[in-house]
Amino acid sequence: MNHLPFDALMELKSGVIDEASQVINRRLSDMPSFFHDQDAVQAQLEEDPVLYRTYIKQSPISPSLWSIGSSVIEPGTVGNEYFMTKGHFHLKEEAPEVYFTVSGSGRLLLQRHSGEAEVKNMAPGVINYIPGGWAHRTVNVGEKPLIFFAVWPADAGHNYGAIEEMGFTKLVVDDRGVPKIIDNPKSAPGLGK
């Protein structure tokens, strides 16, 4: 394949990538079942806040190409659970990904199908390497937007169903102003594979 080099500009303050080929806007109503406190979800659905936006420059789907994108997760909580992304496995399980945080403060939840989990910090300058086989979800634990850049193989694909079904084994909640990792009583590792 013969592709041309290109440049893109990510506006560091807003996280917006110019000429993104795809902009995804996720509101609470796009993912009500992902939060543990369903009474809080119902109470906040009328306002239906935007939880995050993702700007993607998608390359043609090929194992030798990369896609790039940025995500901006708003600050806030649903009940005591911080605003977060849906989280996904890659459809092509071996496909890895790299995140680079530009601003804000977050946690990266990582989990295998077996339920084995890890939690990593996200802060300006931190590079997170996500190996193949690990689902990944980002959580904004700060008071400003959490903004990060991501690069992944263009043919990785996204499997949201497995996470919707089994949940992450860990939740990130606001405990009187301090982010705390707790066990998710509803998670069921191994489902959705």
Give me the residues that bind ligand F6R (CB under 6 A), please.
54, 69, 71, 85-88, 97, 136, 138, 150, 152, 156, 158
Q: Toward Mn ion, which CB reaches closer, 10 or 108?
A: 108
Q: Toward ligand F6R, which CB reaches closer, 136 or 170?
A: 136
Region for residue 146 given its phi and psi (left: phi exceeds 0; alpha: psi -120 to 50; beta: otherwise)? beta
Q: What is the strand order of the sheet 106-111 is part of?
A: 117-122, 106-111, 135-140
Quote the CA–CA distance of 128 and 112 in Å, as a whole number. 16
Please choose which of Mn ion, ligand F6R, none residue 15 contacts, taking the beta carbon within 5 to 8 angstroms, the exact cut-off set by kind: none
Supply the minimum distance, in Å, between the C-beta of residue 130 and ligand F6R.
8
Report yes or no: 155 and 147 within 8 Å, Cβ to Cβ. no
Q: Toward ligand F6R, which CB reaches closer, 87 or 176?
A: 87
Report yes or no: 120 and 131 within 8 Å, Cβ to Cβ. no
Segment 71 to 130, residues that bind Mn ion, using CB under 5 A: 97
Supply the minimum distance, in Å, between the C-beta of residue 22 and Mn ion.
14
Q: Toward Mn ion, which CB reaches closer, 97 or 155?
A: 97
155 near Mn ion (CB under 5 A): no
Q: Toward ligand F6R, which CB reaches closer, 60 or 175?
A: 60
Query: In degrees to the nearest 10, what's the CA dihedral of 19, 75, 146, 172?
Result: -130
Supply the minimum distance, in Å, between the C-beta of residue 85 and ligand F6R.
3
DSSP string, 40-62: HHHHHHTT--EEEEEEEEPPPS-
Q: Give the residues lining the site for Mn ion (CB under 5 A).
A: 97
